[in-house]
Amino acid sequence: MINKPDRNELRKKRQLRVRNKIQGTAQRPRLNVYRSLNNIYAQIINDDLGETLVAASSLSPEIKGKVAGGNKEAAVEVGKLIAAKAQEKGIKKVVFDRAGYIYHGRIKALADGAREGGLEF
């Protein structure tokens, strides 16, 4: 019997393939998204220095009381929050890294929320 790779292994392969092409710099850092079963996380990363500049998630205190879990509404709020935090740090343009996820549903909602908040990508 042949072992089939699971969905997460295939996603990680796609993520590495895309990561070779996408690089976050000081002028245009990388907006990375991680989607778990119950929550959604986003962070803005400067790959030159290897440091996280801004982070937000559906567990952040600003969002936790408003929406429950990691649904689309929470994803929009996380997108708006990460955009607001980025604006405070002077970040206006980012490179969107969907980490191998399909640009649909919660990932798209987070991206739309970040655009609504003022980020350009």
In this prediction, residue 1 carries a pLDDT of: 64
Give per-residue pLDDT as tens, 3-16.
Answer: 888 988 999 999 99
Domain spans, the chain: 23-116
**What CATH number is given for 23-116 in this structure?**
3.30.420.100
Interior CA angle at 34 toward 80 and 93, to 5°?
Answer: 45
> Hey, which bits of the chain come out as E strands?
30-35, 40-46, 51-57, 95-97
Comparing CA positions, the residue from 41, 27, 42 lying closest to residue 91 is 27
Give per-residue pLDDT as tens, 56-105.
Answer: 999 999 998 888 887 999 999 999 999 999 999 999 999 999 999 999 99
Contact, 117 vs 79, CB < 8 A? yes
